[in-house]
Amino acid sequence: MKTPTLPLFDRPEGMTTHDYAFARLRQAIMVGSFRPGTSVTIRGLAEALESSPTPVREALRQLTSIGALQVLENRRIVVPHITPARFEELISLRIALESHAARRAVAHLTERQIERISAIDDSIEDEIRRGDQAAALIANQAFHRTIYTANPDQIVMPLIESVWLQLGPILGIAMEHVSELYVVDRHREAIDALRRRDEGAVADAIAADIREGIGGFDQQAIARLLKLAA
Amino acid sequence: MKTPTLPLFDRPEGMTTHDYAFARLRQAIMVGSFRPGTSVTIRGLAEALESSPTPVREALRQLTSIGALQVLENRRIVVPHITPARFEELISLRIALESHAARRAVAHLTERQIERISAIDDSIEDEIRRGDQAAALIANQAFHRTIYTANPDQIVMPLIESVWLQLGPILGIAMEHVSELYVVDRHREAIDALRRRDEGAVADAIAADIREGIGGFDQQAIARLLKLAA
DNA sequence: TTTGCGAAAATGTGATCACAAAATGAGATT
DNA sequence: AATCTCATTTTGTGATCACATTTTCGCAAA
């Protein structure tokens, strides 16, 4: 199967074909629908999306330039493989970027926004209880994104999402082999710190959340997962 | 003048038209050849590069997805404007990303590589003495890049270059209004710290270098520059 | 069974064209 | 002089086609 099935995705009216292709592929990669090493072809995707090569190629170019896909020497496009070293690198980058983003968001968050963030955290646990891993994952990303984007002049969010995209494939594998998502309860800690406007504590909570979440897999567990992906 | 003249750029044999367009535009933006607000058209660029819309459009899409260009509501593409807040955000991001990258590069740097970095630093001062601002700028970027990319599994370099690209336009304006580039001598400090394998000191030196370099312009100076760009 | 060869299919690339929407500019009207 | 109107031009979008390269696969030879 060269071209995996794409998750559902409503196409907003007025959206260009190119933007639609980009958004749909991006979403698929972000939630781990593609396995590392999967090759993606322009024509295959154009057919799947019922369009033509031109807009699909543009979408693929964008995805490669943000690290979500990789172009090989022979110009073919694949979902990047993940080595343990690369994985560790991505996690440490997440910590650096997101604790920075969280710290700089604190001053901009309103009480109302903090309540909304707290509500998102509740919905994460709902989805986990319901067993919908993909939904829990998306809600978890919304939790983080809502915090960071409170800063209106922020530049960092696209960079963070680039890292998320690069973690997507390993995340998909992990979800297949973990019967149940456990989410470390650092979110409450972060929310409390937000209420206290304690920038340092917020940054620490976010860093711990990342480290103990997906980052908490030790090298052995990752190596095992990556072998499964090969 | 809608489409500014592009700096010279040799086209390596075998490079695709699209890659050439991307590399050349990227380089132009990185060294500040484009002013904020400049609008870029597909056909205009295709003509300037003696090619056709298709590869140019792909290049533009990539540049927008890494923040080097911006698509407006009417789908026109422009060089982004920079506000003082955005500028400050970019500088703080540079500090966070590059001190992180520098710290994680230390363990991978060989003596030979450190000597090479030292040689690059010498070439920066040569270019400054010669008065070639663009060359000094490129050499300065090479100094930083050579340090960070010593880490073979590093993911962070594309993100750092994204930030550099977003700073490019303001940098071009600054160069027009500064008779002489002054480079704070934190490079020697960084090199010494590299030799001592002192990760913390390396990170601090890089952070100080950024802060006291372009980041050292105070809000007033930036506001004045940004007004000139309008 | 394995290896080598060649035709057929698949794939990336880039130019071109038609279409729709937006911007431009000239001329008329107030 | 300022504003409105409408034709013209410019611009982005996406489908299609031709070309070159790579990959795939069947078949014959070792």
Predicted confidence (pLDDT) per residue in B179-207, tens digit: 666 666 799 999 999 999 999 999 999 99
A35 Rama sector, left if φ>0, alpha if ψ -120 to 50, beta otherwise = beta
Q: How many Å apart are CA B26 and CA B9, to the nearest integer?
A: 11
Which candidate, B184, B221, B230, B227, places its Cα nearest to that of B88? B221
Q: How many Å apart are CA B101 and CA B154, to the nearest integer?
A: 8
| A81 Cβ contact list (under 8 Å, min separation 6) | A36, A37, A226, A229, A230
* CB-CB neighbours of B61 under 10 Å: 23
At B77, the amino acid letter reads: I
* CB-CB neighbours of B32 under 10 Å: 20
At B227, the amino acid letter reads: K
Q: Write the burial class of residue A159 (CB in 10 Å: 0-12 exposed, 13-18 middle, 19+ buried).
A: buried
| ipTM greater than cut 0.90 | yes
- The mean pLDDT value for A191-212 works out to 96
Q: Write the burial class of residue B157 (CB in 10 Å: 0-12 exposed, 13-18 middle, 19+ buried).
A: middle
Q: What pLDDT sits at residue A25?
A: 97
- The mean pLDDT value for B85-103 works out to 96
Q: What pLDDT sits at residue B172?
A: 85
At B46, the amino acid letter reads: A
Chain B interface includes A39 (CB < 8 A): no
Q: What pLDDT sits at residue B181?
A: 64
With CB atoms and an 8 Å threshold, state whether B62 touches A67: no
Which candidate, A148, A158, A133, places its Cα nearest to that of A214? A133
* CB-CB neighbours of B133 under 10 Å: 21
Residues B139/B120, Cβ–Cβ less than 8 Å? yes
pLDDT band at B220 (very low <50, low <70, confident <90, very high): low
> Closest CA to C10 C1' — which residue?
A43
Nearest to A65 among B66, B85, B166 (CB): B66
pLDDT band at A219 (very low <50, low <70, confident <90, very high): low
Sorted by where each begins, the domain ranges of chain A are 17-78, 84-229
Task: Read off φ and ψ for residue B80, nearest 5 degrees.
Answer: -60, 145
What integer best gives the mean pLDDT of chain B?
89
Predicted confidence (pLDDT) per residue in A152-179, tens digit: 999 999 999 999 999 999 988 888 777 6
Predicted confidence (pLDDT) per residue in A93-131, tens digit: 999 999 999 999 999 999 999 999 999 999 998 988 898
Q: What is the CATH number of domain A84-229?
A: 1.20.120.530
Residues B46/B53, Cβ–Cβ less than 8 Å? yes
Query: Which B positions 175-194 lie with beta carbon below 8 A of chain A?
Result: none
Does domain B17-78 fall under CATH 1.10.10.10? My reply is yes
Asked if A2 CB < 7 A from strand C, the reply is yes
Residue B218 has pLDDT above 80, yes or no: no
Chain B neighbors of A64, CB-CB under 8 A: 62
| A166 Cβ contact list (under 8 Å, min separation 6) | A67, A68, A80, A82, A90, B155
